[in-house]
Structure 1
Amino acid sequence: MSFERPAPDLQKLRDAWEEFEQGEQLPGKVLANLKTAGLPEVLDELIASGWTPAG
């Protein structure tokens, strides 16, 4: 039986970051939340598409 990761959830990623900025979560918990919300997949897709930050 294989485990399929759910699709990345951009709202969960944003919420996890907001909790960190507001001091509501410790960095380790934030990293775990970002990972389970799909940050690695989002970054991989951005890299593959050639996206670069503006400015």
Structure 2
Amino acid sequence: MSFERPAPDLTKLRAAWEEFERGEQQPGKVLANLKTAGLPEVLDELIESGWQPSTPAAADS
């Protein structure tokens, strides 16, 4: 019997990152949570689709 990974969960990915930003989780735990929530699959799909990040607008001075 083979193990099938569940589909990536964007809500869990965002929650894991927010916990890290608030200082509630150590980096190693955050990385584990991001991996189990499907970050590698999300990144692979973005790369395969040719997605490119947009350039942030320059801040008004």
How does the TM-score come out when normalised to structure 1?
0.99
Residue in 1 that maps onto 2:33: 33
Residue in 1 that maps onto 2:58: none
2:18 pairs with 1:18: yes
Which amino acid in structure 2 is aligned with residue 51 of structure 1?
A: W
* Gap regions ≥5 residues in structure 1: none
Give CA deviations for 1:1-51 in whole Å, capped at 9, x if unaligned: 110000000000000000000000000000000000000000000000000
Q: Give the structure with higher Rg (CA).
A: 2
Counterpart of 2:28 in 1: which secondary structure? helix
Percent identity for Structure 1 against Structure 2: 85
How many residues are aligned here?
Answer: 55
Residue in 2 that maps onto 1:9: 9
Instruction: Looking at secondary structure, tell me which structure has more helix per residue.
Output: 1
Structure 1 stretches (4+) deviating beyond 2 angstroms? Answer: none
